[in-house]
Structure formats: structure tokens, C-alpha cells
Amino acid sequence: MEAINIKEKLSLFNDYWNPRIVGELNGQHVKLVKFRGTFVWHKHDNEDEMFLVVSGRFRMEFRDRQVELSENDFIIVPRGMEHRPVAEEEVSVMLFEPMTTLNTGNTQSDLTRHDLQSI
């Protein structure tokens, strides 16, 4: 057991849409990721996801609405709900999701990450 410094961990990478694992608890991964641009429409049939904005801002789009998120805001996307994050500028996000969660859910694209790095 040791303290994990979020800012330090975020300084270890600069790419977008490529989550890094920073912890595990109760079958969940705690991940850090940087967003910029528009992600793919997708859903997770078996997993809920939690997105916590560490710095910056982004928009979570759903087919029927949008939710704007800023630093210290979080959103929980229920399983089965189609969504896509959009970030005009770089945003750093902490994710809480089951270890089985594939970042692009039911959609395969060049942004799909099957093997995540632990940092």
C-alpha cells in the first residue's frame, strides 16, 4: 500500500484515448486517460462506467442529450447506454470500471485497446 499521485501518473504519458491502469479494487480497475477529439459511439452491455474529470472539460454525448463535465465532476454511464466522449481540448479523466470493460465496448476501431498498461 502506498499513495498514488494522480498528477505524477498523468505526466507519464501524452497520448489520447489509451487508458492506463493505476489501481485495482473489488474487481474494478482505476484508470487514468487523456481525451482530445471525438471518441466512437459505443455501449457496454454488462458494465457501468464512472468518469471523473481530473482536469479540463469534456462533453458526454448520448443519442438524446449531452452532459457537460468540468474538473471535479463525474458521471456514471449505465450499462447498455450508447455514449461517446468529446473533448475540444485535452482533458484528464479517472475511470472506475470492471476489469472486463473494453474501452470501445461493442465497437471495434483503431481506438480499441485490448491490453492496457499498468503504471
Q: What is the pLDDT of residues 32-56, one digit of tens each?
A: 999 999 999 999 899 999 999 999 9
User: Do residues 39 and 26 lie in contact, with contact meaning Cβ atoms separated by under 8 Å?
Assistant: no
For domain 31-101, give the CATH superfamily. Answer: Jelly Rolls (2.60.120.10)
* pLDDT reported for residue 59: 98
Nearest in space to 47 (alpha carbons), one of 65, 34, 33, 31 = 31
pLDDT score recorded for residue 1:
76
pLDDT of residue 36: 96
Give me the pLDDT at residue 58, please.
98
pTM over 0.85: yes
**Residue 105: pLDDT over 70:** no
Q: What is the three-class DSSP state of 5?
A: coil
Domain residue spans of the chain:
31-101
